[in-house]
Structure formats: structure tokens, C-alpha cells
Amino acid sequence: MTVLPPCPKCNSEYTYEDGDNFVCPECAHEWPKVAAEAVEETKVFKDAFGTVLNDGDTVTVIKDLKIKGSSSVVKVGTKVKNIRLVDGDHDIDCKIDGIGAMQLKTEFVKKA
Ligand SMILES: [Zn+2]
């Protein structure tokens, strides 16, 4: 059974779905379903220790990471500033001093 969200205006539990909207029969408030679903689907990114990461955070690499197609290694303890979180296998887009743009996995970093 789908649980419908309570009315954001009057908190009534007797809301129902009407096409792309939710409708509250008590105060006649209507709001789009899309927004409610988008909020639930927002992905939460966490570092190796479960700390929530946000765009613009600074993280520290916790494991030597080989860079594909090169002999360089991102060393443990490397600080990565201003990360950008993306949806994908490698979920951090960033730029590392001396290496350049690359992608990391949240499971190999720690929030600084
Ligand atoms: Zn209402």
C-alpha cells in the first residue's frame, strides 16, 4: 500500500492522488507529486565512515589509488578540495593538485 504524504498546509492525513497532483480534501490544497518524489530520491553521499558529503566539501583519500591509464598514484592522505558529487560508479568529480581532473569513489575518502 502506498502511503500518501500528509497535507503540507494543514497536515491532514486524508490526502489523495489526482493525476500528477496530491489533493487535500480538508483545505483544498493541491501540490505536485513530482516534487515529493524528487525529495525522496535525492541520493545521500557518504564517505567511508558514513559521514554525509556535500558538493564543495574537502575530503582526504584513505587508500592509495591507482589512476587508470597512468603510473601516478593518489596517495593516502591527499587532500581533495571542492568535490562535486555525481551519480555513477565513481561518484566524486574533483581536481587534485599535480594530477588534474579525476573521479573518486566516496568509499575511499573521508570528510576532512
Ligand atoms: Zn490540507
Mean pLDDT of 87-97: 92
The confidence score (pLDDT) of residue 99 equals 86
Distance CA 21, CA 35 (A): 10
Cell of 51: 559521514
Distance 105 CA to ligand 1 centre (A): 43
Share of the chain above pLDDT 70, in %: 92
Share of the chain above pLDDT 90, in %: 71
Predicted local confidence at residue 89, as pLDDT: 87
Q: How far is the CA of 44 from the centre of ligand 1 (A)?
A: 29
Query: Rounded to two decimals, what is the model's pTM?
Result: 0.61
Distance CA 61, CA 21 (A): 44
User: In this predicted structure, what is the pLDDT of residue 1?
Assistant: 53
Task: Give the span between the Cα atoms of 34 and 74, in whole angstroms.
Answer: 41
Coil, helix or strand for 66?
strand
d(CA 34, ligand 1 centre) in Å: 18
* Rg, Å, the chain Cα set: 21
Greater confidence, 10 or 41? 10
Report CA(69)–ligand 1 centroid distance (Å). 57
Q: For 63-73, b where at least 16 C-beta lie within 10 A, e where not — what string? A: eebeeeeeeee
How many Å lie between the centroid of ligand 1 and the Cα of residue 15? 8
pLDDT band at 95 (very low <50, low <70, confident <90, very high): very high
Q: How far is the CA of 30 from the centre of ligand 1 (A)?
A: 8
- Quickly state the pLDDT bin for 105 (edges 50, 70, 90): very high
pLDDT value at residue 68: 78
Rounded distance, CA 34 to CA 75, Å? 43
Pairing of strands 21-23, 16-18: antiparallel
Mean pLDDT of 84-103: 91
* Average pLDDT of the chain, as a whole number: 90
Could you tell me the distance, in angstroms and rounded to a whole number, from the CA of residue 25 to the centre of ligand 1?
A: 7
